[in-house]
Amino acid sequence: MATLLHGAQTETLDVLALAAHPDDVELCAGGTICTLVAQGYAVGIVDFTRGELGSRGTPEGRMEEATRAAEIMGLAVRENLGLPDGDIANTKANQRAVIAAVRRYQPRIVLINSATCRHPDHCAAAQLATDALYYSGLRKVDTTDRDGTPQAPHRPAHVLHYMQAIPFEPTLVVDVSAVWERRIEALQAFRSQFFNEDYTPDADEPETFISNPDFFEWIEGRARTYGYNIGATYGEPFLYRHGPLGVDDLGAVLAKDQPFR
């Protein structure tokens, strides 16, 4: 069952991020989310699972962390669909849960998991999101909102994959230098998952791939690498799903100079 974690019951969004787990977006696109919010866009996150299979923390704790991260980033809304962690099946029932959320918020831009990643849930979530976003535009696919009101079809104009553990050649890189500290604060709201000096793990909570200090340094290192490629301090890479991009004002699109020529 979907759980509203932060924000109003219904609010039209400019940008919606979909994620297999709470913290996927903060880890991979948190700076972009903070940048969009700072620019005045209404942004939300829909997490598919509660991350209950995580080696550290608890599902209840993850929900509290997700709510705190939403507040730090300035999200308009955050909800969790409550799908089973480790079993994000691309079923009609799960598709309709995602479709209902997309139709509820009617975003123009949607950010989704990477289609290729070391974690199977990320790949599964990308496929579920991709199919649901298509079916969301079909008028004969019926869904209702929380109050039972029939929903109108809606398909976002743009879909982008955020980069996870396995790199890809990005279509674009977002300069997140101005919000880097806030992005890190939002990520560290997930105290149980990522390195945080203020968190003391329980005796049965092992160090994981993402909880050690070296991983946190890697996060910054990759952001610096992609930032360097665009002449910024920090950057976040994305893969545009339905290329090529249509352009009617080439000068506006290429207004920002490339740093290396």
Query: What are φ and ψ of residue 64, in 5° steps?
Result: -65, -40
In a domain, 259, yes or no: no
Half-sphere exposure of 158 (CA within 13 A, CB side): 15
In a domain, 260, yes or no: no
Measured between alpha carbons, how far is 27 from 213 in angstroms, rounded to an integer? Answer: 14
Q: What pLDDT is stored for residue 203 in this prediction?
A: 67
Number of neighbouring beta carbons within 10 Å of residue 7: 19
Q: What pLDDT is stored for residue 34 in this prediction?
A: 98
Q: Which residues pair with 45 in a beta bridge?
A: 17, 78
What is the CATH classification number for the domain harbouring 33? Answer: 3.40.50.10320
| 161 membership: H or E segment, kind and range | strand 158-162
Interacting residues of 187 by C-beta distance below 8 A, sequence separation 6+ = 23, 26, 27, 30, 69, 194, 219
Q: What pLDDT is stored for residue 261 in this prediction?
A: 62
Amino acid at 34: C
Q: What pLDDT is stored for residue 248 in this prediction?
A: 93
Measured between alpha carbons, how far is 128 from 90 in angstroms, rounded to an integer? Answer: 5
Please give the structure tokens belonging to residue 42. 């209404």
Cα torsion at 160, 49, 198, 225 (round to 10°)? -20
pLDDT in tens, the chain (261 residues): 788 888 776 789 999 999 999 999 999 999 999 999 999 999 999 999 998 988 777 889 889 999 999 999 999 999 999 999 999 999 999 999 999 999 999 999 999 999 999 999 999 999 999 999 999 999 999 999 988 999 999 999 999 999 999 999 999 999 999 999 999 999 999 887 777 777 666 767 777 777 778 888 899 999 999 999 999 999 999 999 988 888 899 999 888 888 876
pTM, 2 dp? 0.93
Q: What pLDDT is stored for residue 41 in this prediction?
A: 97
| Backbone CA torsion sign across 84, 36, 132, 136 | positive
In a domain, 74, yes or no: yes
Say if residues 106 and 133 touch (Cβ distance below 8 Å): no
In a domain, 261, yes or no: no
The domain of 226 spans 3-253
Q: Which of left, alpha, beta for 130 (phi over 0: left; psi -120 to 50: alpha)?
A: alpha
In a domain, 84, yes or no: yes
In a domain, 49, yes or no: yes
Q: What pLDDT is stored for residue 210 in this prediction?
A: 74
Say if residues 64 and 23 touch (Cβ distance below 8 Å): no
Q: What pLDDT is stored for residue 137 in this prediction?
A: 98
Interacting residues of 130 by C-beta distance below 8 A, sequence separation 6+ = 112, 115, 159, 241
Domain count, the chain: 1
In a domain, 11, yes or no: yes
In a domain, 207, yes or no: yes
Q: What angle do CA 166, 231, 236 make, to 5 degrees?
A: 30
